[in-house]
Structure 1
């Protein structure tokens, strides 16, 4: 069963993916962490396999972070990336450094939705417009957040 955040967000994939704001009532739902913003709007151009990866990752927003977890109830950062890419048949290891060692390195300014953003010890999926979806830490779980640097790697 999807989380309250996933149930209350509208995700459209043609020709872009959009996560629309939650209502104030939805934000107070018991299974939505207080850290999920009620006014977040993410609209990104994505199609094909990148859209599938992003859709899967966005459907996990609001789930808890658990070290070494790869779903379906909880994720760590590499587990979320591994599970999202598995939706399109791309097998990735469950370790952020090993994920970064694969794929094509993408220069800054050329990042595309679906790229994996790596910083030492962490990976996230780029949504576009300076945002990522990530399994951040035990305090905030899976969330949409600003992209804060790192190196992009392309797998699609």
Structure 2
């Protein structure tokens, strides 16, 4: 005869384990829920977009760096003036020493000298009735001191203003640097998500595209018809072929786009502003149909990317992070404008 005993109910701890297990299982992503990994072509496109997005803050960084450098130099010069003016004031005080000593030996310090040695003479000079008790030398020294102190106060205010502006520029630099590094970091993260085989394929595809578009061969030399400063400019740029792009760099071992164009023209004796936009604003605009070797090419817009026209429908430029200075077809990117330094 079978037993009619009821089965023992599961304990609370067992129920808890079962419930937790069931919850865990329900939260596990199924194969259909997992996000598909981007393809090599998708990664390439996203990386290119991130590099392109990094160009604008790079140029803003360059402009801010140039401004900060200028402000810091001006602040340093102003601080030197402060030191010089303080030395002049100290010299006047030294000259007052013998005057005070002589008056002390003759029967005590003149009240004007006592006031000068113990406090700011400005208030004293406002009391005209005391001037008749001062020698002409004392009057001259105190007036000189009053003038120098006014100058010193003004110069110190100027120095503080310039130092404050330089510090604000430094903080903006830090913000732009973080923005640039953030975009480059995202690009690198995407590249790291590829398998070794995918990365090899991507590298091979880029090398093939580079070969079809132009050259980064460091042994190449310019054989065009440019002359004078334009030729010197292009020859300098050719000497940089194969050197890496680096944002914020003006050489000699690496360049960003406007860093290369500026350095090339500087080698020919022509000084250009630092950024793409400033170089665009400074040069005389020329039509695409009137391009001559040495002209600066602007792609996309007047703030993003530039290079040097070398003739035969080609240009030399510093492309982007991860690539080197290279020659490329003029129409490899959307042409925006050209200028002639």
Q: Could you state the TM-score of these two structures normalised by the residue count of structure 1?
A: 0.72
Q: Which has the larger radius of gyration?
A: 2
| Aligned partner of 2:324 among 131, 141, 149 | 141
Number of aligned positions between the proteins: 123
**2:224 aligns to what?**
44
* Residue aligning to 2:278: 98
* Counterparts of 1:76 and 1:102, CA distance in 2: 19
SS of 2:320's equivalent in the other structure is: coil
* Structure 1 gaps, min length 5: 1-33
CA distance in 2, matches of 1:90, 1:102: 12
Moved over 2 A (4+): 34-44
| Farther off after superposition, 144-153 or 71-80 | 144-153
Q: Distance in 1 between matches of 2:325 and 2:297?
A: 15
- After superposition, give the CA deviation of every residue in 1:47-80 in whole Å (9 maximum; x if it has no partner): 1111000000011010000001000000000000
Alignment match, 1:154: 340
1:78 paired residue among 251, 254, 258: 258
| Partner SS state of residue 282, structure 2 | coil
Higher mean C-alpha displacement, 55-64 vs 141-150: 141-150
More strand by share: 1
Q: Which has the higher helix share?
A: 2
